[in-house]
Amino acid sequence: METDVLVIGAGLAGLSAARALEAGGRQVLLLEPADEIGGRVRTDLVDGFRLDRGFQVLNPAYPALREAADVPALALRPFARGLAVRTSTGLREFFDPLRAPHRSAEAIGMFRADPKGALALTRWLLPALVRRGDTSSEAYMSLADSLDAAGATGPLREQILEPFLAGVLAEADGTTSAAFARYLLRWFAFGTPGLPAQGMAALPAQLRAGLAGELRLSTAVDRLQKTGSGWVAHTDNEALTARAVVVAAGPAGTAALTGSPAPHLHGLVTWWFAPPEPPTTSAQLHIDGGHRGPVVNTVVVSNAQPSYAPAGRYLVQATTLLGAEPPADTEVRDHVGTIYGVSAAAWPVLGRHVIPDALPAITPGRWSPGESQTDGPVTAGDSGDASIQGALDSGRRAARRVLSDTEGNPASGTPRPIQVSAWRLTCRPSSRCRPSWLPSRRPAAKSRP
């Protein structure tokens, strides 16, 4: 069998690449070694509860998400903007002063208590808010070194920023690229993360629904072979040929197929509890500013998105970093109870997800948004930008490269209408149809926010 493009991996990057390739008039065969699509973005149904594979959120500010998906159809419900922080003096709720000025007393109080540290931290963060990227000055600095150099010390850093970023970056020692950390904080400033009504698995399901090409589940590619006119992908049962290939098989799988170095991966563990009563009515993310246990964040998920729990029931998640071994359930319960100020000792555990490959480590000097490849098979994934935005955007960039390399010479030249976001477009092989032009061709009167 021969096709235009083989896409190996039906996670977010692979699905994004497949959609952009079909929009460019290419025939795509999508191969996925697992029995479901989504990669690391999956949702389990347990006793009427929706348990995502680890605590994940969807930020509607991501431009790649708005291009790839019909965001309103996901029925997102947002978390509350701000953080609830357990300190030695009690639980302090910090709200976004720009969006909830009437509830910003705690934030103002902390700024007044440490004006020097607050000003330094504001100056450190400001470049990421006013321009995208900002990698030149700190490309080779770690998060910890960058904050030290800026003079950002004190409770705002130690009790709020660092505990919050530990859960976002899946590391607590500040070794992540400072430029990348500020890039992620930009998206939190511009968008309010939430959860789809049907769980995070609704995103890959929607991306798959927009594809016409064949999807083969439980089909692993053992090796790739370059030929004069394209590629051969060897599976257990057959050899599949294509003019081009996109490898989006996850960090480890992509490294194995391409011979590239495998990135270092950070691991997380997420516990899901079903308490008889919610420990709070808040939909804020809760963290421990005193670092008194293994939990890096916890939230009453059903307060933000009620569809994650059956009527009259409640769902709480608690996430820890993955060390040599996951923390014991009792240790996690004790710390969750400390954060909320209740006893969680008897909370039933609905599930526990141990995710050793939760996020690729983005170390200083190796992060550059939009970086391109020059040799070997085209790859896609979040190894260079550990986020949903990074995965989706990498798929589009991979498709753009394939479309450029195979322009005017597809195996199947029949154009067909493609549904991309909310607009129907017709792409022909000779039209130079690429994902990069999609926003500019939308009617101005119908543009989406």
Q: CA–CA separation, 296 vs 234, rounded Å?
A: 42
Can you give the residue ranges of every domain in the chain?
A: 2-41+202-260+365-446, 45-56+75-114+192-199+265-360, 117-191
Exposed/middle/buried for residue 433 (C-beta within 10 Å: 0-12, 13-18, 19+): buried
| Total Cβ atoms within 10 A of residue 257 | 21
Instruction: Kindly report the pTM of this predicted structure.
Output: 0.86
Nearest CA among 8, 369, 2 for reference residue 221? 8
C-alpha angle 42-295-129 in degrees, rounded to nearest 5:
75
Smallest CA-to-CA distance from 21 within 225, 213, 219 is with 213
Strand, helix or coil at 209? Answer: helix
Q: Would you state the pLDDT for residue 448?
A: 37
What is the per-residue DSSP string for 135-192?
A: -TTTTT-BHHHHHHHHT--SHIIIIIIHHHHHHHHT-SSS-SBHHHHHHHHHHHHH--
- DSSP conformation class of 198: T
| CA–CA dist 379, 57 (Å, integer) | 25
Q: Which fold has domain 45-56+75-114+192-199+265-360?
A: Polyamine Oxidase; Chain A, domain 2 (3.90.660)
Q: Alpha-carbon distance 29 to 10, whole Å?
A: 10
User: Is 2-41+202-260+365-446 assigned to CATH 3.40.50.300?
Assistant: no
φ, ψ at 53 (rounded to 5°)? -75, 80
Q: pLDDT 10s digit of each residue in the chain, 449 long?
A: 689 999 999 999 999 999 999 999 999 999 999 999 999 999 999 999 999 999 999 999 999 999 999 999 999 999 998 899 999 889 998 877 656 555 566 666 777 778 888 899 889 988 877 765 554 566 689 999 999 999 998 889 999 999 999 999 999 999 999 999 999 999 998 899 999 999 999 999 999 999 999 999 999 999 999 998 899 999 999 999 999 999 999 999 999 999 988 889 999 999 999 999 999 999 999 999 999 999 999 999 999 999 999 999 999 999 999 988 899 999 999 999 999 999 999 999 999 999 999 999 999 976 655 444 556 799 999 988 899 999 999 999 999 999 998 875 554 443 333 333 322 223 333 333 333 323 333 333 443 33
The per-residue pLDDT for 263 is 87
Please, is 299 exposed, middle or buried when counting C-beta atoms within 10 Å of its C-beta (0-12, 13-18, 19+)? Answer: buried
pLDDT computed for residue 413 by the predictor: 41
Helix (H) or strand (E) holding 117: helix 115-130
The neighbour count for residue 430, using CB atoms within 10 Å, is 11
pLDDT at 1: 66
Rounded Cα–Cα distance for residues 224 and 6 (Å): 11
- The answer to whether the CB of 317 falls within 8 A of the CB of 269 is no
pLDDT of residue 117: 83
Q: Rounded to whole angstroms, what are the CA distances from 349 to 270, 276, 315, 316, 355?
A: 11, 12, 10, 10, 17
Which residue has tokens 């000025």? Answer: 101
- Bridge partners for 400 per DSSP: none
DSSP per position, 320-374: EE--SSPPPHHHHHHHHHHHHTS--TTPPEEEEEEEEEEEE---TTS--TT----
Place of tokens 């419900």: 77
Name the 3-class secondary structure at 302: helix
Q: What does the block give as tokens for 258? A: 């391409």
